[in-house]
Structure 1
Amino acid sequence: MKHFYTLLLAFITSFSFAQLAPPTELESYYSTVDFTTTGVYLKNDLIDVTADKHVNYLSYGDVWDASRITDLDPNNSNNVLLLYGYNDTDGSITTDRTRGKYDNGGGVGDWNREHVYPKSLGNPNLGTSGPGSDAQMLRPSDVQRNGQRGSLKFANKNSGEFPNGESGTTNSGWYPGDEWKGDCARIIMYMYLRYGERCLPTNVGFGSSASTPDDMIDLFLQWNAEDPVVDGGLEDVRNAYHGNASNEFAQGNRNPFIDNPYLATVIWGGPDAQNRWEDLSINDEQQNRIKMFPNPVNGNEVSIISNQDIIAEVYDILGKKVTVQNMTSNQTKLNISELTKGVYIVKLSSENGTQTKRLIKQ
């Protein structure tokens, strides 16, 4: 039945998906991938390029050094960002979002390079070499917070639960937090490409694979769509570093679902994820003229710099539009005073196209 579904999916969706072509700077990396295909055919091409470009194999110890380069806090280069963390000011160490980059180890108040999903959920156990030392999968996390997560599978939160985007236990599983759920989904997708049946999504999260041509589950497709990649954010920084094999602690391969989350939609279906390769008629210079800062933000305004008039639409993490503001060219302030703390999606539209950015209000 899965094989039949794959053929049907490839036939039907080839007419409905957006045309894909990587930007100029990624054309060489993806030169062997046929982006006119869909379903498992596209997946197989991405499997090949992801494995072929993985030319440097890091030890578990090397990941300490890699993390101090790839996971820096953009607001303070002395710190790393902590997966599952969400608050640096509530008096609890375990909820910290940032930590000194040399405060690593295995004790209270330390950060460790943690497997995004427990290595025990691999089949067999991922260990601390090979897939267990893949730096695309290992992220800094507070030792105690990750201990609270334990060996739980990923799960969705209930309606109204964790209103400020917190991580925590829910539904017999672990919710990674609004800021991190997309990161986690895209890492799981990468691990599935790179290591196949050893890293099945059905083994690491609660969800159904009935609508996909293989073992991807709807939970991760949902998270990938709801929590897009931030332009130039942490995921991009990590991906760019590891995609350059000449960097000292780089693997040489990229996570294609960070480069374009929409690839997951083309392969597995589900809700339309962010397409970072659309609007190909807009040159990079024009695209890059739309800037939004600071992000994360502690106040009630965000600066938008653009050479065009734009419409800024802000959506909450469930996809509900919470505010709309028309903005003229040059620097303008987006008023977010009515937004509570949490993660939002900002859609910036102009006559030349649309950009989607993630906004974190602390």
Structure 2
Amino acid sequence: MKHYCILFSVLCTNLGFSQIPNGYYNNATGNGYVLKTQLYNIINQQNDQGYSAIDGFFRNYDLDNYYENNNTILDIYSENPEGQDPYNFTPLNDECGNYSFEGDCYNKEHIIPKSVFNENSPMQGDAHHLLPTDGRVNGFRGNFPMGRVDNNNLASQSGISNPTQNGSKLGDNLNSGYSSGYSGTVFEPINEFKGDIARIHFYFATRYQNQVPNWSSYAMFNGTIDQVFNTAFLNILLEWHNLDPVSQKEIDRNNAIYYEHQGNRNPFVDHPEYVNAIWNTEEDTQAPTEPSNLVASNPTANSIDLNWNAATDNVGLIGYNIYKEGSFHSNVNTTSTTIIGLSPETNFCFTVVAIDSSNNSSAPSNEACETTTNGSTGTGNADLFFSEYMEGSSYNKALEISNFSGATINLSNYELKLSSNGSSTWNSYSYSFPNNASIENTEVYVIMHGSATVCTDVEDDLNNSITEFNGNDAVGLFKNGVLIDILGSLGDDSDYAKNITLVRNTDVVAGSSIFDINEWTIYDDTNTCDDLGSHTQTLDISQNKNPEIKFYPNPLTGNTVYVDVLEKVDLEIYDLTGKKVFNYSLNPGTNLLPINSLSSGIYIIQLHNISKSWTRKIIKP
């Protein structure tokens, strides 16, 4: 790691984005089965790609970037989330084919068996309920419904162990407790994927609600358009959904299906609270347990990280309220967050309260306190950002990340993601920093391709996946799942940095969720890396102050927003997927922007002239 030269400090705020399309669920306003029908009307317009297209989808989007992170097929019947997998499948090479034993090959499994709907379309090719699974285990499961297996009554079949090598099992349903009411044969996946399976069933029951009454011969279905499931199986699915929250894998897969494959979403991944709003409508008065082990850490001059252990609830959580100094600060749906905009050299105390889907509140967590730094060394910026990018010949590729926060930053809450060839989702690779990795104030962290041949004395880590970029691939820096800086633009496959090196300009003080090539110095000579491993930031505060820009009203109250500026600037509005939806030129004085074409939501506004650019956020109700 190398030291910086730093002269001045400026504070900047970064904005992340979600990948649920803006306004997608605007019409989901009801409750119970009314809500279910509203969701059906939203998701039933899918672009059926057919059954044969699923193989290609698996190869690109059902890869293990979450456990071993080795880009093998992520198979729920062989994945061991607590250790080494018993075997792995290579995309394409290990597609079935014939099989005799576990580990021979993988094929396509319909979570709702295809015999239920007679292999008809679009159910046959619907990616939301098709998963790549071990061929032998898929055959072992057969057409049996999902359920809770009685360990004293396991099924026996030649050529396979029961439970299987990762713990999935086949046998009589345990006819007691939450799974009472059915005693036939069922298949049970491991706990890690029970919520996934439940939400797939809820999707299927909603997407095909007008057809499921015709499929009542399937043990899980009761022949109705509303409840869809027999009560015994509904109770099992609700239990699994509530005990196994939505995972990042599910979120990424949902985005890939929507943006890259068939154009509709699983609403129960985007909004898990919809499950209980539809199928569990009895009044819930039981509060969640309180979050535990709240820890405040990684203070900078203006931010503090918070982490805590999840609360539990009898129905389902929808999020956590964060309290700062006893007053409500924000709401999140994760068990970690970063509080920004704090004053330097000040002690802050926080508590967290869990909220369930009936708006019941838990008791507060323990109080956690931390003191922000003074920012006297380093610029006291809000967070890390990219400071150099090398896309050279062959494997000469590198990324450099800088710390101007005023304090050492532990990298456990950060990750990098790669989106290839103009994809609109972060679906290619993800990179987690090594355990206990950190960046001291005024230093950098360099990640290089393992086969690089230039500047190999400055790397802090080698990784061949996240450096698999080719000049038209977006690379994102995320903190606690929120995008805080980006190279390139999501959904744009134009070559912005092919065979060149980019070095962040010395007057740039923080990252941004919108890429601006004007913030970078371009070196056209291939394999330029003289500055790699160090970064100089020389700031003139007067150059980085925002012009007198005023937006009002914000949040908006109608279809017009006023913008006051002192100089001529160009304005562009982006939605939270990064898509430009509006552009305008502003003259000095008061400008009136007609934005009646914008749907309700949050938007990012970027203003720029020849030498400078600024970012704002507006909210349209």
Q: When the two structures are superposed, what TM-score results if normalisation uses the length of structure 2?
A: 0.37
User: Which residue of the other structure, out of 237, 241, 251, is the alignment partner of 1:236?
Assistant: 251
Change (3 A) 1:96 1:273: farther
User: Does the Cα contact within 8 Å between 2:50 and 2:124 map onto a contact in 1?
Assistant: no
Work out whether 1:255 is the aligned partner of 2:266: yes
User: How many angstroms apart in 2 are the aligned matches of 1:65 and 1:289?
Assistant: 38
Identity %: 25
Superposition pairs for residues 57-136 of structure 1, below 5 Å? 57-74=48-65, 75-87=68-80, 96=86, 98-102=88-92, 103-108=94-99, 109-122=104-117, 125-127=118-120, 129-136=121-128
Work out whether 1:194 is the aligned partner of 2:207: yes
Specify which structure has the higher proportion of strand.
2
User: Which residue of the other structure, out of 237, 250, 265, is the alignment partner of 1:220?
Assistant: 237
| CA displacement 1:201-246 (0-9 Å, x = unmatched) | 9765559899x9522322211111111112x2x11111111122xx
Change (3 A) 1:96 1:145: farther
Q: CA deviation at 1:261?
A: 1.6
3-state SS of paired residue (1:196) = coil
User: How many angstroms apart in 2 are the aligned matches of 1:282 and 1:89?
Assistant: 31
Change (3 A) 1:97 1:242: farther
Q: CA deviation at 1:32?
A: 3.8
Change (3 A) 1:284 1:96: same
- Residue 282 of structure 1 aligns with which residue? 331
User: How many angstroms apart in 1 are the aligned matches of 2:49 and 2:131?
Assistant: 14
| CA displacement 1:334-353 (0-9 Å, x = unmatched) | xxxxxxxxxxxxxxxxxxxx
Q: CA deviation at 1:256?
A: 0.5
Work out whether 1:50 is the aligned partner of 2:43: yes
State the one-letter code of the partner of 1:115.
H
- Residue 138 of structure 2 aligns with which residue? 146
User: How many angstroms apart in 1 are the aligned matches of 2:273 and 2:320?
Assistant: 9
3-state SS of paired residue (1:154) = coil
User: How many angstroms apart in 1 are the aligned matches of 2:91 and 2:368?
Assistant: 39
- Residue 174 of structure 1 aligns with which residue? 187
User: Does the Cα contact within 8 Å between 1:43 and 1:267 map onto a contact in 2?
Assistant: yes
| CA displacement 1:78-126 (0-9 Å, x = unmatched) | 30111232449999xxx8574212211232211112111321123xx23
User: Does the Cα contact within 8 Å between 2:192 and 2:244 map onto a contact in 1?
Assistant: yes
- Residue 158 of structure 1 aligns with which residue? 150
| CA displacement 1:141-177 (0-9 Å, x = unmatched) | 0000101101111111337997997211021111122
* Unaligned residue ranges in structure 2 (runs of 5+): 1-16, 155-162, 173-184, 282-313, 323-328, 340-347, 355-364, 371-408, 413-479, 481-621
State the one-letter code of the partner of 1:222.
E
User: Does the Cα contact within 8 Å between 1:119 and 1:126 map onto a contact in 2?
Assistant: yes
3-state SS of paired residue (2:228) = coil
User: Does the Cα contact within 8 Å between 1:310 and 1:328 map onto a contact in 2?
Assistant: no
User: How many angstroms apart in 2 are the aligned matches of 1:120 and 1:229?
Assistant: 28
Q: Which has the larger radius of gyration?
A: 2
State the one-letter code of the partner of 2:171.
T
State the one-letter code of the partner of 1:126.
E
User: Does the Cα contact within 8 Å between 1:154 and 1:174 map onto a contact in 2?
Assistant: yes
User: Does the Cα contact within 8 Å between 1:208 and 1:219 map onto a contact in 2?
Assistant: no
3-state SS of paired residue (1:99) = coil
Q: CA deviation at 1:184?
A: 1.1
Change (3 A) 1:178 1:164: farther
User: How many angstroms apart in 2 are the aligned matches of 1:175 and 1:204?
Assistant: 17
3-state SS of paired residue (1:136) = helix
User: Does the Cα contact within 8 Å between 2:61 and 2:253 map onto a contact in 1?
Assistant: yes
User: Does the Cα contact within 8 Å between 1:113 and 1:141 map onto a contact in 2?
Assistant: yes
Q: CA deviation at 1:42?
A: 0.7
* Unaligned residue ranges in structure 1 (runs of 5+): 1-22, 291-306, 314-323, 334-354, 356-362
User: How many angstroms apart in 1 are the aligned matches of 2:61 and 2:211?
Assistant: 26
Q: CA deviation at 1:274?
A: 4.0
User: Does the Cα contact within 8 Å between 1:86 and 1:166 map onto a contact in 2?
Assistant: no
State the one-letter code of the partner of 2:144.
L
Change (3 A) 1:218 1:28: same
User: Does the Cα contact within 8 Å between 1:185 and 1:224 map onto a contact in 2?
Assistant: yes
User: Which residue of the other structure, out of 268, 272, 285, is the alignment partner of 2:315?
Assistant: 272
- Residue 609 of structure 2 aligns with which residue? none
Greater relative contact order: 1 or 2 (C-alpha under 8 angstroms, separation 6 or more)? 1
170-179 or 159-168, larger mean C-alpha shift = 159-168
User: How many angstroms apart in 2 are the aligned matches of 1:163 and 1:148?
Assistant: 10
- Residue 300 of structure 2 aligns with which residue? none
Q: CA deviation at 1:273?
A: 2.8
Q: CA deviation at 1:326?
A: 9.5
3-state SS of paired residue (1:26) = coil
| CA displacement 1:265-290 (0-9 Å, x = unmatched) | 00010751342698893379996549
User: Does the Cα contact within 8 Å between 1:242 and 1:251 map onto a contact in 2?
Assistant: yes
- Residue 483 of structure 2 aligns with which residue? none
Output the aligned Cα RMSD. Answer: 4.4
Change (3 A) 1:49 1:278: farther
